[in-house]
Amino acid sequence: MKYFQDFLNSIPHKFTPEEEAVIKRAYEFAQKAHAGQKRKSGEDYFIHGREAAIILGKLFPDVPTLAATLLHDVPEDTEITLEEIEKQFGPEIARLIDGVTQLGHVRMKNGKDKFYMENLRKLFIATSQDIRVILIKLSDRMHNMRTLEFIPRDKQIRIAKETLEIYAPIAGRLGIGNWKDELEDLSFKVVFPKEYQKTKELLENEMASRQDSMKETQKNLVHILHAEGIKFQEITGRVKRLYSLHRKLQKYESDISKIHDFIALRIITKSTSDCYAALGSIHKHFQPVPGRIKDFIANPKPNGYQSIHTTVFGKAGKTFEIQIRTDLMHEEAERGVAAHWFYAEEGKPESSGRVQAKWFKELQSWQEEASSPEEFLESLKIDFFRDRIFVFTPKGDIKDLPQGSSAIDFAFAVHTDLGYHMMGAKINGKMRSIFDELQNEDVVEIIKIKKEAVISRDWLKAARTQNARNKIRHYLKEHDKGILERIKELKSFSLPRFFRKK
């Protein structure tokens, strides 16, 4: 059991004896369940769950989540069922594992739509429901990415692409900078090996020419802040990550003179006012580059990131970015949504309810960026991911609809005109009634006619979305108006004429 002790020691958190007992039980259970299975690397299969749990534990040492991470591949890859796990470990842990298994089934279909990736990320989140499921899945993916070299090249590329397009943005959206950076760089190396090499060389060259100047600036900063009596905890240097450098170079057509943050110096303070005080004295002693001051404390980024950024001229005209933030902001920048769990104001863990609430807020801001204001308001109607189904167009685009939706909702969700001209629907390749309830992951093809469809009041009964209902009502109103007008016409012209004839 020396291994178990090593495992526990690699997680920087003090567990109670009861908590430790749960983790140990999960550890031994998973080890036994995977006994005899090997990974492609030749290691025991169990090592994967163990390593994933260490990755997770460093960020988020929550006991049920850790236990579920250790056990996450057991129901899929061994004889032991989820029911058995539930009997042994209770419903909470079982539910987390089930969520991870479900997520494993979310697959990329061959969509070319420009919102496809965005939709897929939403689908991914919706399927998991509990933020902890995503954290487990991300640590699972992190370990797989770290050990990618053992699998065939084509599979490596597929997994790395998926990581770059789905997993890394989700880590970023959750504000977990550490995970996003590592996932990106690991994938970058596999998906774009040439660009990776080029970017790496470029960065190394830049570093060589900046290092001395940076060290001196760092020393000067310490002196200046001390002399002015500004309290700070530490000043560290950070080198730009390769993938983010690559993206920036693409944006500026490889003009490296536009890149100001190859190296950044980070000042960590105790309080927000110290941040602004530090900024003031830095600008007194170093010439700032105009237009490069960004106050993300007053205006946090959508994922909650807070910091002040400024760029100054150092020695020999070399520029440096300086980032100033409090220790709490720093904690959040690295650990994102997970930081709240363990670092609430008095150092007490926040309730999972609070964390979940913040998580929903994050999702909503994501929604806000991605869709129209109407859709966003619609999404605010609580529970916006529970009770929803995801339906595919034949091209692989995803529409999310409330549970109980029909092909009518789907048609109006795709395009208003499609709704007004629909005459039938193929669901998973078979002709079905447009009134039938759709199921999650159905592929729906709307059959349309050239002229306007005849819409009856029955359509209202089968429509769940506000969007479809409004459009149907509009049609019915216009239609009724048409009939009324025709009756009026008949009355005012035909009837009198008829009488006149008489």
Comparing CB distances to Mn ion, the nearer of 138 and 164 is: 138
Give percent helix, percent strand, percent coil of the chain, each to the nearest 5. Answer: 60, 10, 30
Per the annotation, the verdict on 368 as an active-site residue is: no
Query: Applying CB under 5 A, does 51 fall inside the site for Mn ion?
Result: no
Comparing CB distances to Mn ion, the nearer of 51 and 321 is: 51
The closest alpha carbon to 141, from 109, 175, 92, 106, belongs to: 106
Q: By CB under 5 A, what part of segment 69-98 binds Mn ion?
A: 73
Q: Are the beta carbons of 104 and 132 closer than 8 angstroms?
A: no
| Backbone CA torsion sign across 183, 187, 192, 197 | positive
Structure tokens at 53: 């749990």
Q: How far is the CB of 134 from Mn ion (least distance, A)?
A: 14
Comparing CB distances to Mn ion, the nearer of 73 and 321 is: 73
Beta bridge partners of 237: 265
- Residue from 62, 140, 185, 321 in contact with Mn ion (CB under 5 A): 140
Comparing CB distances to Mn ion, the nearer of 68 and 389 is: 68
Q: Give the interface segment with Mn ion, choosing from 67-75, 257-265, 392-400, 409-417 (CB under 5 A).
A: 67-75
Comparing CB distances to Mn ion, the nearer of 64 and 177 is: 64
Q: Give the interface segment with Mn ion, choosing from 75-83, 139-147, 278-286, 454-462 (CB under 5 A).
A: 139-147
Q: How far is the CB of 48 from Mn ion (least distance, A)?
A: 6
Distance CA(461)–CA(468), nearest Å, equals 11
- Residues in contact with Mn ion, total (CB under 5 A)? 2
Q: Are the beta carbons of 364 and 356 closer than 8 angstroms?
A: no
Q: How far is the CB of 35 from Mn ion (least distance, A)?
A: 17
Per the annotation, the verdict on 436 as an active-site residue is: no
Q: Are the beta carbons of 187 and 160 closer than 8 angstroms?
A: yes
> Helix, strand, or coil here: 297?
coil
Q: Give the interface segment with Mn ion, choosing from 12-20, 66-74, 122-130, 486-494 (CB under 5 A).
A: 66-74
Q: How far is the CB of 145 from Mn ion (least distance, A)?
A: 12
Q: How far is the CB of 98 from Mn ion (least distance, A)?
A: 14
Structure tokens at 422: 């629909």
Distance CA(221)–CA(236), nearest Å, equals 11
Write out the DSSP string of 210-255. Answer: HHHHHHHHHHHHHHHHHHTT---SEEEEEEPPHHHHHHHHHHTTT-
Q: Give the interface segment with Mn ion, choosing from 25-33, 54-62, 137-145, 454-462 (CB under 5 A).
A: 137-145
Distance CA(69)–CA(57), nearest Å, equals 10
Q: Give the interface segment with Mn ion, choosing from 65-73, 185-193, 306-314, 478-486 (CB under 5 A).
A: 65-73
Q: How far is the CB of 147 from Mn ion (least distance, A)?
A: 11
Distance of CA 298 to the CA centre of its chain: 24
Beta bridge partners of 108: none
Q: Give the interface segment with Mn ion, choosing from 84-92, 134-142, 379-387, 397-405 (CB under 5 A).
A: 134-142
Q: Which of 6, 76, 374, 452 is catalytic?
A: 76
Q: How far is the CB of 153 from Mn ion (least distance, A)?
A: 21
Distance CA(72)–CA(194), nearest Å, equals 35
Comparing CB distances to Mn ion, the nearer of 68 and 277 is: 68
Structure tokens at 223: 């002196």
* 65: number of Cβ within 10 Å: 27
Q: How far is the CB of 440 from Mn ion (least distance, A)?
A: 23
Residue, CB closest to Mn ion: 140
Comparing CB distances to Mn ion, the nearer of 33 and 265 is: 33
Q: Are the beta carbons of 131 and 358 closer than 8 angstroms?
A: no
**What are the distances in angstroms from CA 481 to CA 57, 142, 459, 473?**
65, 61, 18, 12
Q: Which of 77, 113, 162, 445 is catalytic?
A: 77
- Which positions from 424 to 463 touch Mn ion by CB under 5 A, shown as an x/- string? ----------------------------------------
Comparing CB distances to Mn ion, the nearer of 103 and 279 is: 103
Distance CA(221)–CA(199), nearest Å, equals 29
Residues acting as catalytic residues: 76-77
Q: Which residues contribute to the site for Mn ion (CB under 5 A)?
A: 73, 140
